């Protein structure tokens, strides 16, 4: 059993990991930038260490500083959360080389799945269907011929990508060069790698992902699927589980395929296999080798603590349960609350004057803000996740409407009004949406 965990992150996910560790009797070490000296995870951790100035590159992305903090505090392990260093294979390797336990998959699996082309090849080799597209990085000289062969529209994606960065669509040859240049520039700025590849652009797919847990002993289970199709510029805003688009046969099949793929790869820890789903068919797009932002919706329907399981697995424990013992109950929906204007999405950092979180049966709030907290300008704008659970989707929607109406965050603008609007839309109520639906809704609101 691990005795002390350093949390290499900030905000709500740092607090989430801290709580799981505390319930396991594990001491915690919070690292923070100077901008986060008053952060809630810093206040609640057993120890805290400042690792640098506000810019992430000088603090949360500073591998040397994080490892030094682990050494100084005599930590046993490091949990990277999501974002920052969570999918950096070099960091995971350094953690292990310095004698700490990395709470996550092996560096080799992080590296494999971080290369989107290599990931597609690996998944195709173990029987997972993939989106038609190029099998290698695309050069400028070959771009037009490859796009013609795939057929327009094509989606240009960074090989080292994620979170919608380095992703552009081209609907014709006339648009190809400018889209390619933009994708390369964004990929280089975001990942230090300008390589891109092409995929067939699917018109109105849903984004379906499967949560996996795997231990060191070959045991693998899936915890069902999440529907993450409510997106703006490839950034998820609302997630729900299970997906209202799938029937039971499809649900069992995609779970089976995902589990078998992970077992064949010898993967360990938590992971998420992401698919596009259109016209009854699934296409693998990527695997996230980390804890997902939206993991709470899965926890709400299966009653398992995914962070706890990650820590147990990292400590060498077996899962302790089989697929047949995983029980799913009801429906859950998560709304990501951002410090942004609800319809223009302009960032709105500043001081939270009044904060009142909703409560009641089936309501969970994952947040690290509080009345008087000053939201820094340096980091991601997500400040809270509101998750609700009900016996069925309709009950869940009614509970979500009530919880959003109770949620008070004064002093800054937030996306709460957007969530109130979109969950009242007939298409969402009926579960009839896709990954481009929200963009259309926002445009319509802008015209009103």
Cβ 138 vs Cβ 146: under 8 Å: yes
Tokens describing residue 274 = 């992401």
Residues known to be catalytic: 290
Query: How is 112-155 classified by DSSP, letter by letter?
Result: HHHSHHHHHHHHHHTT--B-SB-SSPPPTTTHHHHHHHH-SSEE
Cβ 265 vs Cβ 111: under 8 Å: no
Q: Which residues contact 193 (CB under 8 A, 6 or more apart)?
A: 158, 159, 160, 187
Q: Which residues contact 415 (CB under 8 A, 6 or more apart)?
A: 237, 336, 337, 338, 340, 342, 345
Tokens describing residue 198 = 């092409």
Distance CA 366, CA 405 (A): 17
Beta bridge pairs of residue 197? 157
Please tell me what DSSP assigns to residue 58: G
In 169-232, alpha helices (H): 173-191
Angle CA(220)–CA(330)–CA(262) in degrees, nearest 5? 15
Tokens describing residue 179 = 């889209």
Distance CA 96, CA 134 (A): 35
CA 170 from chain centre, in angstroms, equals 26
Cβ 272 vs Cβ 120: under 8 Å: no
| Helices 116-125/107-114 angle, 10° precision | 100
Nearest to 16, CA basis, from 351, 396, 306: 306
Distance CA 283, CA 208 (A): 10
Cβ 275 vs Cβ 284: under 8 Å: yes
Cα Rg of the chain, angstroms:
21
In 315-424, alpha helices (H): 393-406, 416-422
């Amino acid at each position: 059993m691990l005795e002390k965990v350093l949390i290499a992150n900030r905000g709500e996910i740092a607090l989430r990991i801290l709580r799981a560790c505390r319930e396991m009797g594990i001491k915690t070490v919070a690292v923070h930038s100077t901008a986060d000296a008053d952060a809630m995870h810093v206040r609640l951790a057993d120890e805290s260490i400042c690792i640098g100035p506000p810019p992430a590159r000088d603090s949360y992305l500073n591998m040397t500083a994080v490892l030094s903090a682990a050494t100084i505090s005599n930590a046993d392990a490091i949990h990277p959360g999501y974002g920052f260093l969570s999918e950096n294979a070099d960091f995971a390797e350094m953690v292990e080389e310095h004698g700490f336990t990395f709470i996550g998959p092996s560096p080799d699996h992080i590296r494999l799945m971080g290369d989107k082309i290599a990931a597609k090849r690996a998944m195709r080799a173990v029987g997972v269907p993939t989106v038609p597209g190029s099998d290698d990085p695309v050069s400028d000289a070959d771009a037009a011929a490859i796009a013609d062969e795939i057929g327009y529209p094509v989606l240009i994606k960074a090989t080292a990508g994620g979170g919608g960065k380095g992703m552009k669509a081209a609907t014709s040859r006339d648009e190809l060069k400018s889209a390619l240049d933009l994708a390369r520039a964004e990929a280089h700025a975001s990942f230090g790698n300008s390589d891109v590849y092409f995929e067939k652009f699917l018109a109105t797919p849903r984004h379906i992902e499967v949560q996996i847990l795997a231990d060191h002993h070959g045991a693998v289970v899936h915890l069902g699927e999440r529907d993450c199709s409510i997106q703006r510029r490839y950034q998820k805003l609302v997630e729900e589980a299970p997906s209202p688009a799938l029937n039971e046969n499809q649900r069992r099949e995609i779970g089976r395929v995902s589990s078998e793929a992970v077992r064949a790869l010898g993967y360990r820890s938590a992971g998420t296999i992401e698919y596009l789903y259109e016209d009854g068919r699934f296409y693998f797009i990527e695997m996230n080798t980390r804890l997902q932002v939206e993991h709470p919706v899965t926890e709400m329907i299966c009653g398992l603590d995914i962070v706890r399981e990650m820590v147990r697995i990292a400590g060498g424990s077996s899962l302790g349960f089989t697929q047949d013992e995983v029980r799913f109950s009801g429906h859950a929906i998560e709304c990501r609350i951002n410090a942004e204007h609800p319809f223009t999405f302009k960032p709105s950092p500043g001081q939270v004057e009044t904060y009142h979180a909703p409560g009641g049966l089936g309501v969970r709030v994952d947040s690290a803000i509080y009345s008087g907290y000053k939201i820094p300008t340096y980091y991601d704008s997500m400040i809270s996740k509101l998750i609700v659970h009900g016996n069925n989707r309709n009950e869940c929607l009614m509970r979500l409407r009530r919880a959003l109406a109770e949620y008070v965050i004064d002093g800054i603008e937030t996306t709460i009004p957007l969530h109130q609007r979109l969950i009242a839309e007939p298409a969402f109520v009926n579960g009839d949406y896709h990954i481009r639906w929200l963009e259309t809704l926002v445009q319509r609101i802008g015209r009103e």
